Amino acid sequence: MNSSWFEEAVGVARKEWTAELRDTSALMTSLVLSLGTVFTLALAFYGRRAEPPAAAGMLWVALLFAGVSSLTRTFVAEDEQGTGDLLRLWSRPSVVFWGKAVYAFALMSVVATVVTLSFIMFMSLPVAVPAMLFFSLAGGVAALSGTVTLTSSIISRGANRSNLSGVVSLPLLLPLLALGVAAGRSAIEGSRIAEGWQACAGTWLYTLVVFAVAPHLFAAIWREP
């Protein structure tokens, strides 16, 4: 990786954050949707404690819902603003993908931190193995960022983009959801620790697969007129 490639990727990520700081639409959308889900679940379980499998599932649903609903606009916004052709002209596909993915990872890291802490607080949820929960969420956020960056480039070419976002993204994220829930359940209840760490490692393996394959698929899509 040469310095010019790295500088270009950082430039794309910086452009995304500059636009986000001016608008904050993606961040606010993610926070409002995910925190609204957390508050609704807290009201539904008021006076009761959610079982670890249910709690882990609800946490991941809130994160996936927030990520898919907001990050899929990454490339849609480029086409709507007329800047997509400029990116194709001046930037290499790998630079665009990694710059967008870094931005998505930073955005979802903020959202995941706020949502997880809020979820634990409002649900009065003890976490037996915090390190396992942290590493599984970190791997999940990374995989989510790469997957949604790829699918966003796909749906940006479609006519009915709002419906396509869920149709394209969610099937690819189901294995990640299964691994994240398994790791979260073990982290919360403190049982089947070995299985939990295996699921945690699975989230990172999924991340490696995503970032090994997605840049090449993205390059093929990005070159299409």
Q: For the segment 165-189, what is each residue's pLDDT rounded down to a tens digit?
A: 667 777 888 899 999 999 999 999 8
**Which one-letter DSSP state was computed for residue 159?**
S
Q: In this predicted model, what pLDDT tens digit does every residue of 32-87 receive, in sequence order?
A: 877 888 888 888 877 777 788 888 888 888 888 777 776 666 666 666 666 666 66
The structural domains of the chain, with segments of one domain joined by +, span: 3-222
For residue 193, give the 3-state DSSP assignment.
Answer: helix
- Which of the pair, 26 or 182, is modelled with greater confidence? 182
How high is the mean pLDDT of the chain? Answer: 80
**Which one-letter DSSP state was computed for residue 9?**
H
Average pLDDT over residues 93-114: 87
Q: Closest Cα to residue 76, out of 160, 201, 181, 192?
A: 160
Cα-based angle 81, 84, 153 (whole degrees, multiple of 5): 110
- This prediction has a pTM of 0.83
- Residue 186 has what pLDDT? 92
How many angstroms separate the CA atoms of 213 and 137, rounded?
Answer: 21
How many alpha carbons lie under 13 Å from residue 99 in its C-beta half-sphere? Answer: 23
- Which of the pair, 78 or 106, is modelled with greater confidence? 106
Q: Provide CB contacts within 8 A for 199, sequence distance 6+.
A: 136, 179, 180, 182, 183, 186
What are 65's two structure tokens? 């819902």
Output the CA torsion 32→38→43→49 (10° steps): -170
218 to 40, 126, 138, 150: CA distances (angstroms): 37, 41, 23, 6
